Amino acid sequence: MSLQDMLRERMDAAEALYQRAEQMDDAVEGRGKLCGKLRAELRFLRRADGGQVALKASHLNSTNLTHLTAVLNSAESLEGVVAVLRVFSYRDADGQARTLTVDVVADGGRTWVKSVGRKAEALHNIWQGRGRYGAKSIVGQAEDFTLASQQQPLGYVHPRVVFAFYNGVSEPVARHLEEMGVAVRGDVVAVDAVSTEDCEDGEDDDDNDDEGEEPELEATRVDRGTVLASLAFPADAGVEECGRVNLDITALIAYVSSLSHGRCRLAFREPVLTEQAAQERQRPVLPVLDAVMAGKELYACRAAVDDFQTILDTLGGPGEKERARQLLSRLQLVDDWPSERALALEPSAKVNRRSLLIFGTGDRLRAVTLTANARFVRAAANQGVRFSVFVHEPRALTEGKEWRAMPV
């Protein structure tokens, strides 16, 4: 195949990938980053096609398209994808601050996926110390992933680490990864020994440095014709769920709101209440809250209950107050006792003391906090603190305002 034919093939592939990435749910964090990387690849290829770049075979062999294809394939194969190319901070074994890019965060955040597009030969030879100078082995990358995941619990359970291989993985490497607790997906293939020059792999990977001296040791060929096992993504990651739920003020209000109990076919004088009523007609919030709370130990701290009671006394109707009484009887009331990492947050307009007490106490309890306060959750995450939360749509107390609302 000529260089021009290879260039056209790469351009068609990049364009198709970009179209697929654009169709990804807008709610998936990192969608824009993935699209941006694909646009950058397209720009370079188009410049080469227009003669602005002197085209070389190395340009086409070192493209990131292989890795980006693997990322997109993984994202499309998994349920509950919340992010792609998300960067996590962690500390290595020496206590040094590091960052790690997780290709796909799935299962609501409980599964981390590294998508590997490199060929099985290259991965195997780097693992054996026969790769190019500076190339990090897939096992070294797995060590980083497992260490980082242990420092980023979700629902107080460490995310499961999955390595997905789209060009195969040798059986020894797959076995080594599984012994480390890393789940392997893809074709597991056999190996046999051949000379170095037969095993060169020009495909680039974001986690590998391909520059440096060529290896002189004998390499190993992976026989991709002999597939020992094909491991597909599981439908269920099988990660343990947290057994405790901490309700914040917004969750307490939403649970007892008249809107959440059938009184949503109304248009209120207040636009925000009319909007919430319309949302409730389309997406009832009570079944969502009940599903999260079912079979769990339920908690609320004094800061949340005291403020909820004040709001209820001021705005609540008779039905809402009765439902509140019943709900509070189901909860374990605990003193405010925020965790150290919550107290370390810098106060701001979005990070106020009341939220620190509520979310911090949930963190201390190792409970998932049920909340509609997405602003605080994002603000804390921007400071490097990711609380274990379930974010629901807000619902206000409306019973006292129904008398002047219009039916819809």
Q: In the predicted model, what is the mean pLDDT of residues 349-357? A: 94
Q: Quick one: average pLDDT of 232-252?
A: 75
- Provide mean pLDDT across the span 111-128: 89
Measured CA to CA, the distance from residue 175 to residue 142 in angstroms comes to 13
Greater confidence (195 vs 167) lies with: 167
Tell me how many helices (H) and strands (E) the chain has. 15, 13
| More confident position, 334 or 217 | 334
Give me Rg for the CA atoms of the chain: 26
Q: Which of 208, 157, 94, 98 is nearest to 149 (CA)?
A: 157
Report field, pTM of the whole predicted structure over 0.85: no
C-alpha neighbours within 13 Å on the C-beta side of residue 109: 16
Rounded to an integer, the average pLDDT of 347-353 is 93
User: Which tens digit of pLDDT belongs to each residue from 21-48?
Assistant: 999 998 899 999 999 999 998 888 888 7
Domain boundaries, the chain: 1-63, 71-231, 244-407
Structure tokens at 101: 């890019």
Structure tokens at 248: 């914040």
| Closest by CA position to 118, among listed 206, 190, 193 | 206
- What pLDDT does residue 388 have? 87
What CATH number is given for 244-407 in this structure? 3.40.50.1010
43-81: pLDDT as tens digits = 888 887 777 777 666 656 656 888 999 999 999 988 889
Q: Please name which of 125, 120, 12 lies closest in space to residue 63, comparing C-alpha atoms.
A: 12
Q: Is the pLDDT of residue 187 over 50?
A: yes
* Mean pLDDT calculated for residue range 222-250: 67
Output the pLDDT for position 320: 98
Mean pLDDT of 10-18: 88
Percentage of the chain beyond pLDDT 70 is 84
pLDDT at 220 over 90: no
Closest by alpha carbon to 123, among 171, 70, 183?
A: 171
- What's residue 95's pLDDT? 83
- Quote the CA–CA distance of 124 and 129 in Å, as a whole number: 9
